[in-house]
Structure 1
Amino acid sequence: MIRETVTLSTASDFSGWRAWARKLLHDRVPASSIQWIVSPPPFLYAPSATRLLPNAPSTTNLPRALASLFPAVFVSEDPDRLHLLYLTLQTLRDGMSVPDQLIESLRRLATESRKRALDLRCQMPDARNPEWQILRTSHAAALIDSQADALSNLRPEPWVVIAPDRTLFWNAGEYRFGPGFTGDDLPPSELIETARSLASAGNKNAFWDGIAQVRLHPESENIAASPSLASLRAKAIDCQMCELCRPATRTVSGEGDPKARLLFIGEQPGDQEDLQGRPFVGPAGQLFDRALREAGGNRAETWVTNAVKHFKFIPRGNRRIHQKPDASDISACAPWLMTERRVLAPRVTVMLGVTAASAVLGRSVTVSRERSKHIPLEDGSIGLVTVHPSYLLRLPDEESKTREYTKFVNDLRMAISTLAG
């Protein structure tokens, strides 16, 4: 018998569901007596709005392993998902063990949602093209909403997601939500403007506060099973395999031609790379691009990445001062680099500096001893060691900079000729 009917504003209204679940658990309303429905209020897409939610103390201690499943289960398309989540909390509140069958149902629904989330992320273009990007998808609104943070981290540059049930608009600093549309007959410029006009619900609308954010929780085995560079990048945005993820803005994955046979590996993202979400775009990256052009190469035809995927720094006033990665940082990122190299399968790998060389070769490296030599790698490809371009920027005088820059260009030219040969 239905005793309580609870109305949520959207299928991604996790904060609303959580507030009502706490109250109903506190009032000892059984799961079988609750009807959960989704009915958007008329001001759901207003630029700003407030709402009142019940405020009750928590009566349940949710184990971390189960807590990690809840957002993904919440945005699943199973009609019984909210009942199953509440039933889990009710069981724990009563001091009982959650039945294996219920846990298995939660895991199955969470796995399905994470697969959909991964698929959506893989569709998001990277940040190489700063122009507006339009992502059309058929994914459900709740799934799209759950990926707002992840998609903005994957691509800091502007984009819009258009789906039958949701419009998600990101303008390099703020995302906004709107109703869905198709716009099949609209040119790109009109699509973007239509999305802009529809997506007006922003950070000041309380109905969009506390959306269920679905994370992928990548681990070594899951990383190694990645079938593509796009899926690797999509998973890496949720990486928490070391402490560097906490102060950094985002994971910075590699970019370039996924069919490239020439791979360049640097040390780690710097300040600008961390902010822009792209490798080698700061001063050292600009120097690298210039040297590669002089050597006869084209960055667009290569793949560029780093041994460590997060920016390691110490804050000093308004600045973030680069810190060299240590062995534990390199080890934590090893699954990402190893899988990236396996999927890319380059013919020539250029290690830019001691961190990259140590990460690839698995031993201590002195760049001056190993530089400009062909090094057979375990996967059958050829490795080359040279300096990191940031080394050139630190040289004290112009004569040294000119001499070392010429040697660096020659090393890049050697890599290109090795690929051609």
Structure 2
Amino acid sequence: MSRPDLHERIQALRKLRIAQGRVRVRRTITRRDGVRVEMDGRWLTEFCGNDYLGLSQQFQVVSALQEGAGRDGAGAGASHLVSGHHAAHEAVEREIAQWLGYPRGLLFGSGYLANLAVQQALLLEDGDVCVQDRLNHASLLDASLLAGCKLRRYPHADAEGALRQLKHAPEGAAMLATDGVFSMDGDVAPLRALTLVARMQKALLYVDDAHGVGVRGPEGRGSVAEANLGPVEIPLQLVTLGKALGGYGAVVVGDDALIQHLSETARPYIYTTALPPAQAAATLVAVKHARRDEWRREKLTGLIARFRGGAQRHGLETIVSDSPIQPILCGDDASAMAMSSALQSAGYLVTAIRPPTVPEGKARLRVTLSALHMAAEVDALVEALARSRDAVQRVRGAA
């Protein structure tokens, strides 16, 4: 028997990534101060993180983390169903469920684990299907593959496409899954139309609102609340704790029966150590700030409008988005990388996003805004973006 050598395989794949200009490189941050980060001995203004409300370094949040570690230690010590479930975990689940208007919540180590848990625990028989938006986050798509259910995808934000896919799906149980705010484009799913589709086809509608909760809707309750929807129309919803809430982990909210089933059967919940209680204590404080600090959302809204106005004046190619995610389309991978490098030289950290994260020919700079940014910083970034684009175009024109 002749088996392929795995080292040879990975070397060939790396050569291909190099040829395509798609090698991914980690950036090491040595210090962070608000939206300023130190990298390779230089201070840069970051415009590519997800700390939308500026809570990751808020002093009361950090104090809660420190006090929690001093009281409860560095880790939970076990999984939730053994001896790792702490009062701080319970408090976070209860607070987030109450905030979003759902009966109950369940805490997970990450959004990736939570998305896998939901599909693995619910779509478990032959013929079960998950119908998904084509631009859903990778964790939702991977969850279907790992859960073993049928995966069908519909054109982005196309409720009629979702209906067609459900109509032609097998006769098993069905889930309709979508991002609330799409992580690479920053636009919002047509949730009201999708609720009608789900009801007509007897599918459970599941919304991953990682980039919506904290930022959108009344009291920052996210895309679902903004659409005036709730547990009746959307029985399950995911909230990640590492975006607007500035921490780590995720909570799935839903009705008692669904959450109880997840807690008893979902392998990504049962077979992993619980989050450190100190992290949960910090998240609890962050949620309270996200609920009451309306000024953070108001400032963020103003910065988004300011950025979009400046980008339009300079002829930068944007996507329609009123979220903190503001992509600048570059087209090919090389242009995106060149613009990102030019911005770094100018003092800005803005990551280039390339396929397969985004479709072919849609490489971009994923600009993200935070309530910690100042108006002058946003204006300066727009100017730097325009200069970097012009420089890349000159080089391409001369080639």
TM normalised by structure 1 equals 0.27
Tell which has more relative contact order, 1 or 2 (C-alpha 8 A, sep 6+).
2
